[in-house]
A and B are shown apart, each in its own frame.
Chain A
């Protein structure tokens, strides 16, 4: 029997000006033991479907059409109390960010026991026993100790296991997993997905897996539904949809996925819905100072840099404890190349970037840029000159732009700071830059919140280009973005390297992206570099066990259609 049948569901959010239709007549079904992938870009309405099934739509959103049938009973339109009984008991949910979905002030045991007792009439002792079994089942070692710990004492992956245990408390029939692995490392992601697959099989639970990650879909799901702008554009068995996509949107989406096995010169720009934004690299290159890259001399020499963070404070030097985030890291960056640093979270890759950028002091070793030592600068003049030559693009386009500043102020700030121009020339330059990155000069007078994630990352790029730097540090520049937007931003970065001769340090945990972007790659683990190689040979022939493991964990995208790729 079909577990969950969503039939022509329509969800609307009335706003002051017009009614926004978040989900438009979407239909899908979930069978017991089946994992149903729901894929699409942000704003496609996939999370809204999940919220609608649970009756957790944010007001003023409400269901205006269609119905949701759970095991033969229509559940859409039930009152709040009946919905609450269903929630958790029959249908559970797993949220995206395990760091924020657990209450920080209660132990894991308290949260589990509370949830178990909300659904089952059991004694305290029995509830604790069940909680212990669940913790054990989701693969958390040493459940007896772990039960009495608080969420902050767990790592991200372990917390997501706790979240899954909480979702299982009531023995639900359907689990809605909303981007359950987006915030996790690749290795942890693989484990969590494996756990979800096992649970689905073992308990015959139907799972709706909401994600924007095609790799996750290809690896995990049995059936997939592709959504675009609130509508279902394509639905069917995963292999069929991924391998032979029929709808042009699905085709463009799949074409934009970076492949681990294939290096593309550029990502194909297949636009759907007319949202493609141009990037005027030729205009930008015309006014760019000519850089002569001398390939024989490295642009950067990083010599044994080390960073320690104070872990335990103490009055006396010997009672202090330090954590070594980066340990004796050395490498060269040649002019004009894109140098990648990969590693899992906590491997110290961002710390390396920050030390090179001068945001962190270097505890040992030195950073030499263009023949001059630039680490721990004392000399103000050298410092200012260096700062002008390097710029950073950060991961999170939402927090890296000051929300109280207008876009023109944001982009003009580096120009003003370095006193590169004055008066109207600044305004002109800012407008040109915004035009060149594809936002149009009219963006100057808006504030960051008026833009989407991809557009904001373009603002960041405009800001980084304002001082006409020679070196760009990109710290996970696309990991917060949708695939198609990611493809656009990566293309822009490729253009910058090619046409302006920019050198880049590209930090990422996403190996397929690194393969597309980088000329050489350093693999980091626990503060040390384990391997440095040319990208192609690294992927073809990894030298260390750790790199091999990382490569093995990459989602296999062999089933994905290779149509439309160059």
Chain B
């Protein structure tokens, strides 16, 4: 088990190195940061001096190596645009994105699984069919459109919820939270629905199809023949057996909730890392972009590792070391 984890972590490090390399080699095509940083009145000497200061005169493998050297010490360099350490900037912005992702992830999983089980059990019921039809909309509408629609209905027409920003936040240590104020909570509603809707419908459809499969299995028929209650059969015997594929997909989807919160953050002007990234691209702020991409890949790799470990927790057949069943 421990050997397995070590092996996986080792693989993860390789993945991270490759991601970093690819990201770094692409930055050269985004533009020249020096153009943005110096004003109109620059001279060639200014440009050369700044290039040397930033280390941009060195070949790109050397730049990458220097970046890695800093990164393992938690130092991602200084933002070209803001002139502050990247780690500080990201630390300021991360709570907003993480809270948003947490809420929408929670909504997606809880509602998705509940609806999935419901539509599988009541396969041909009117309610289940209605949900299935509506879920098609959730899958097919693009995120920004859902966001704009929600803003139009709930902010513009009904004037119930704020259309942008995080509302009031409270600082706890270095973490700014919107969970503790009424306006902060209200501000979370629309963005988290927007962000989680796609994942929710996806999880729901997945749980449903897996459930339908499992409900036909012999052990479910046998459980029924033993006279177990329907509730125990559906939620204990059947649901647990659907979890392995569901976790696989859900894990990756949660990763993308955080990684691709960019669109939602843009629509709702949510002050998170996604918005930071968009601004960084416009300004060719290489340290911020590099740090963000590394952060996202660490997260994906981490989620994948957790998903694999969850397999072991759920399915005892995987726990027996290498023995064939």
Interfacial residues, chain A to chain B (CB-CB below 8 A): 54, 56, 84-89, 92-93, 95, 97, 100-107, 114-115, 118-119, 150, 152-153, 163, 166-167, 169-170, 309, 311-313, 321, 323
Contact = CB atoms under 8 A, between A and B. Distances in A.
Contacts of A88: 225-228
B41 interface: no
Given A88-B227, A100-B218, A115-B227, 10 more contacts: A84-B229, A92-B225, A93-B225, A95-B218, A95-B225, A114-B236, A118-B229, A166-B226, A321-B322, A323-B324
A97 to B, nearest CB: 6
Nearest to A107: B316
B221 A95 contact: yes
A150 B219 CA distance: 14
Contacts of B316: 104-105, 107, 150, 152
A88 B226 CA distance: 4
A56 B226 contact: no
Contacts of B219: 100-104
Contact of B228 (A93, A101, A114, A163): A114
A163 B225 CA distance: 11
A103 B223 contact: yes
A101 B325 contact: no
Nearest to B241: A105
Nearest to B218: A100
A321 B324 CA distance: 12
A85 B228 CA distance: 9
A312 B226 CA distance: 38
Contacts of B325: 152
Contacts of B127: none
Contact of B225 (A87, A119, A309): A87
Contacts of B230: 84
B323 interface: yes
Interface in B220-260: 221-230, 232, 236-237, 240-241
B172 interface: no
A163 B222 CA distance: 9
B22 interface: no
Contacts of A153: 320
A103 B217 CA distance: 9
B222 A102 contact: yes
Interface centre among B221, B226, B237, B241 (most CB of A within 10 A): B226
B224 A95 contact: no
Contacts of A105: 240-241, 314-316
Nearest to B318: A152
B321 interface: yes
A92 B226 contact: yes
A93 to B, nearest CB: 4
A89 B217 contact: no
Contacts of A102: 219, 222
A85 B316 CA distance: 31
12 contacts: A88-B225, A93-B222, A103-B219, A104-B317, A105-B314, A115-B226, A118-B227, A118-B229, A118-B232, A150-B316, A166-B226, A170-B226
Given A100-B217, A103-B237, A118 B322 contact: no
Contacts of B320: 152-153
Contacts of B224: 56, 87
A84 B232 CA distance: 13
